[in-house]
Amino acid sequence: MDFKNRFNERYKTTPKLFGKEPMPIVKRGLTYIDTGKALELGVGNGRNTLHLLANSFKVTGVDISEEGIKILKERAGRDPNLKLVVSNVLEFETTEKFDLVLAIGLLHFLEKDKINSLLKKMKKWTAPGGYNVIATRMVQNLRQDLPHIFSSNELKKYYENNNWQIEEYKEVERGERKIASLIARKL
């Protein structure tokens, strides 16, 4: 599936595609950590990153969509605390450690083996005491083209080990939508 072109086209026609408000899980994540270095994978047009910047985070945002990154640059201005990278999240590499690593609305666009690989990288990029904040779909979209739909407790299982403490895990249904969200701290 060519999600890159789909999102580039959608951002061209609807720059405020996902609105301005951050996802509720991002707001809840800031009750556990209030500042530091953050990495947002699948940053899109930046509603979550803008919220992090407004809360004194230094943010690195990664997305495959040039249009999404372009919109975020316009919205953020020349913020010195923002670094943006146009890249497939699966190809992105860094040696940096982050206090907060986010994947909001991203994982369901990946095949299951790629999800496992990306989560391993996210955990590696997280500093001790840092957090992973994740939200992903549990039902198929209207096009029926999402590569992976999470089952009940599937996301949670990735963090059920001695190196991580799950601070919050929820599965929320809103009409036809069902989302799994997680906040976990690296021990």
Distance CA(25)–CA(123), nearest Å, equals 18
pLDDT of residue 106: 94
| 82-86 sheet: strands from edge to edge | 82-86, 57-63, 36-41, 98-104, 126-137, 177-186, 164-174
Distance CA(41)–CA(172), nearest Å, equals 22
pLDDT at 21 over 90: no
Highest mean pLDDT among 59-63, 145-149, 159-163, 171-175: 59-63
Q: What is the largest CA-CA distance in the chain?
A: 46
Asked whether the beta carbons of 181 and 169 are under 8 A apart, the reply is: yes
Q: Dump the DSSP string for 119-132.
A: HHHHHHHEEEEEEE
pLDDT at 78 over 80: yes
CATH class for domain 3-186? Answer: alpha beta
Distance CA(163)–CA(141), nearest Å, equals 33
Domain positions in the chain: 3-186
Return mean pLDDT, the chain: 92
- The residue type found at 89 is V
Kindly give the residue spans of alpha helices, DSSP state H, lying in the chain.
3-13, 24-29, 47-54, 66-76, 112-125, 154-157
Burial of 144 (0-12, 13-18, 19+ CB in 10 A): exposed
In tens, the pLDDT along 105-139 reads: 999 999 999 999 999 999 999 999 999 999 999 99
Q: What is the mean pLDDT of residues 6-24?
A: 73
